[in-house]
Chains A and B, each alone.
Chain A
Amino acid sequence: MANILVYIELINDSASWASLLALRQARFLATNVGATIYAVLPCATPPMYGENDIIAILSRQGADKVILMTHGDLTPPMLFQSHGEALLTAASQFPPALMLLPEGPAAVEIGPRVAARLGGLFVRHPRLSVQMGSSIRIDQPVYENTHVRRFFSAELEHSVVAVVSPDPQQFARALGTEEAEVVVISPNFGDGSAAPRPTLVVGQPASCQPQRMVLVGAGITEAAEVDALRELADLLKADLRVTQSALDKGLLEAPILEESPLVCCPDLVLAFGVHGSPETLACLSNVTYLVGVNPDENAPLFKRAQLGLVAPALEAARQMVTEAKAHRDEPLLPVPKELPEEPEPQETDEGPDEENDSSLIDTVLPRKTLKDARMTADTAEMEPVPKEPMTDGEPNAKTAVPTQTKAPEAGTQDVESTPQASKIDPDAAKTGVAATIRPIDQLAHTPPMGTPMTVDLQDALAAASAPKALRLGNHTSGVHPAGTQSTPVPSDTASDNTPEAAPAGVATDAEDMALDDTMPAPLPGADVKPAKVTGSTDTPTTKPQKGEQEP
């Protein structure tokens, strides 16, 4: 297995929670079968840079590389004709053995048709597990969960496109510690002969639903309970919603829960006083993470919730408020402040990969270089594009050396300490010719710091679209049309074929994995007891699968 592509959905310029969970699941699989994870990030405008920007987040969640695709058409709502084609562009550059799409709009809108275009296998909500460390077993529940359709990735000659809805408890921890490389690709929307895209009727979308909600059911009967739930919702930055039966009781006025699961698809729902009628459970079928709080341990809600608490609503809500307030200011996840020390770049004579058309790849950069780009724009220089090496046996790129650049050395501006956020240059994604931007100190033939330059980065990138040499000050840089470069380029294939060192938090020991159904380590921290249904005391985190039997 070579590549795992993970589609990243943006909601309000942030990666959706479901996307991050999909990325974590991919990290788990890739670590165990030796694959490279590409987080595919289509967006209309380049992402903002800051202390905790999206590239850093994707790196932390396990991405080896981030494929950044910027185009004005990549705006919501997502359509196959735009976002799907962008994803197919990425797939053409980095042919996936497995493509993961988070449950949500992408899964509905582009997943099936992308699978069809790839001629691949499409599965929705499969159980993915590692089989003997080399193949991924794909079990797709069918016939109301009484059967599975089973595949093994090693036996398939086609790409697998999977819509996943990972259990957050099984993929709870951020896994990556290193910065991912950023690969900038121009989305290819075809030659215009494709079917026209549906036109969005002018006007604002209606009935927008929140991404996090505290859901109040008919079991909430006292004003004190409502007050506590309002406070909890505020602390969690969630909206209050009510079920129809709660609304009928008239205890509080709040928007009603949206009926269609296509519209009601929040990341998080904390349900209080909700028993779980079939109608309500149908509405909640697309919730990424459902927490149920109900004094009745047999409430049907607990058949749908990922996390359950058998307790009275008032007591639970007040305790949650206290706990949330106590930890409000604590950092949650470690944010790497500095790049790890990188080995010296190693040159290779390896030529371009003949199988992949690299003409769409604009830039291959460690993120920090992009981040530095603006700060060092006055001293930047255009270089021939390094070819992205791709082989089937490519080891996980987390161990590969991002050889296009090093972290800025002494003398370069410390962008980490620069308070203002910067942006990836939008022109970089539109430029027809690939370019690598290097901090000045790494270029042997760049002028010394302080030398006046006549062209800034914006102009340089724009000029790069022309197949001619670009003059920077009194230095001529080697800008070539993509695919015509002849100079040896640095490669990140320098690492050997040994499996990558496991990122923090990833279980790699054989004893941590059942051969047949490998799952990540249980969630640390919370005191979890087994489900009362089974009465087992052996499984500390979740209840075992009921009556699983296979021939």
Chain B
Amino acid sequence: MKILVLLRGWRRTPNGPLDMERIGHYERLALGAALALKESRDDDVSVGALAAGSETEDEALAVAHALGVENTYRVWDPILREIDAFGVAQALSAAAQHIGYDLLLAGFRSPDHRQGFMGPAVADGLSITQLPGALELRWAGDALEAVRGYDACKYTHRLETPCLVTIAGGPDPGTAKPTENHQPKLLTLDDVGLEETRLRPRVQLQGEIIATHTEPYVTAFVDDASSVIEHLRNVDAFL
């Protein structure tokens, strides 16, 4: 059984260094889930980690290695700098296919872009089952059971491998000092059978990164409590 965890280094600015944590919260949980699955099963389970990008990503893979991930891989081509997430997902899909997997795990959302896109896009590229936002993940024989939050409820699903699950809860793998001089296996687009020209159309979709502060929420203050009810009545039929 091969588990492959998709990782990405966590940056706080577009071209800055990685955050001290190297990887985001949900990606840590994905690593934790993979390692817990490995521990809970007697037979042969291997855990690998895969990233796409420049050598900076090696720092993130070194964290994974230090936590107990045996094999790390990085796929790289200069065009990966210029394309959008879907293009990167295509590269990851091809790399996962090249490496081999039974179960793909990814963080629910990255801390920088917070899109929740990469996992589902990779699953789509591989035409495999996906389940997003698992809060718990465990073996059920040769299959998996995943608990997830959905529409204010928790549901339990059974999944057959191969599949991809994005992780939003579960055990934290703890901390470990990144392995020094850890070198992942480097894969090129040629290695994974992907032509650069296939990714070229995605260049326009990277968008323009502009430094500007945005408030996610804009609070409006009212003077009295009756105005709150009036707001609610205007917003929707609550009463």
Give A residues with C-beta under 8 Å from B: 11, 17, 20, 76-78, 80-81, 104-105, 107-109, 112-113, 115-117, 119-125, 127, 139-151, 155-158, 167-169, 172-173, 194-201, 203, 205-212, 235-237, 258, 260-266, 268, 270, 289, 291-293, 302-311, 315-320, 322-324, 327-328, 330, 332-333, 523-532, 541-543, 545-551
Nearest CB of B to A443, in Å: 38
In the bound assembly, the distance between CA atoms of A195 and B114 in angstroms comes to: 26
A143 with B219, Cβ < 8 A, contacts A119-B86, A311-B225, A523-B231 known: no
**A327 B233 Cβ-Cβ under 8 A:** yes
Q: 0/1 per residue, B197-239, Cβ < 8 Å to A?
A: 0000000111111111111111111111111111111111111
Q: 0/1 per residue, B134-150, Cβ < 8 Å to A?
A: 01000000000110111
Which A residues touch B84, using CB under 8 A? 121
Instruction: Tell yes or no: B113 within 8 A of A by CB.
Output: yes
Which A residues touch B238, using CB under 8 A? 212, 236-237, 268
Instruction: Tell yes or no: B157 within 8 A of A by CB.
Output: yes
A308 with B221, Cβ < 8 A, contacts A124-B115, A142-B112, A262-B135 known: yes
**B213 A205 Cβ-Cβ under 8 A:** no
Closest partner residue, chain B, to A10 (CB atom): B151
Name B's interface SS.
Answer: mixed
Nearest CB of B to A423, in Å: 23
Name A's interface SS.
Answer: loop
In the bound assembly, the distance between CA atoms of A462 and B204 in angstroms comes to: 48
**A11 B151 Cβ-Cβ under 8 A:** yes
Instruction: Tell yes or no: B56 within 8 A of A by CB.
Output: no
Closest partner residue, chain A, to B231 (CB atom): A526
Which of B59-67, B94-102, B124-132, B171-179 is near enough to bind chain A? B124-132
In the bound assembly, the distance between CA atoms of A528 and B230 in angstroms comes to: 11
**A122 B86 Cβ-Cβ under 8 A:** yes
In the bound assembly, the distance between CA atoms of A68 and B225 in angstroms comes to: 40
Contact for A525 among B13, B135, B231, B236, CB less than 8 A: B231
**B119 A112 Cβ-Cβ under 8 A:** yes
**A526 B12 Cβ-Cβ under 8 A:** no
Nearest CB of A to B208, in Å: 5
Which A residues touch B120, using CB under 8 A? 80, 112-113, 116
Number of chain B residues whose Cβ lies closer than 8 Å to a Cβ of chain A: 82
Closest partner residue, chain B, to A117 (CB atom): B124
Nearest CB of A to B28, in Å: 15
In the bound assembly, the distance between CA atoms of A236 and B160 in angstroms comes to: 43
Beyond A308-B222, A527-B224, 8 additional contacts (C-beta under 8 Å) are: A124-B117, A142-B114, A172-B235, A195-B130, A205-B154, A309-B228, A324-B229, A328-B239
In the bound assembly, the distance between CA atoms of A304 and B229 in angstroms comes to: 19
Cβ-closest 8 pairs across A and B? A262-B149, A263-B149, A319-B225, A209-B152, A112-B120, A205-B153, A149-B207, A198-B157
Which B residues touch A104, using CB under 8 A? 151
**Could you list 20 examples of A-B contacts with CB < 8 Å?**
A122-B85, A124-B115, A144-B112, A150-B207, A167-B218, A168-B236, A172-B231, A194-B127, A196-B160, A210-B152, A258-B152, A262-B148, A265-B152, A305-B217, A309-B227, A526-B228, A547-B213, A548-B214, A549-B212, A550-B211
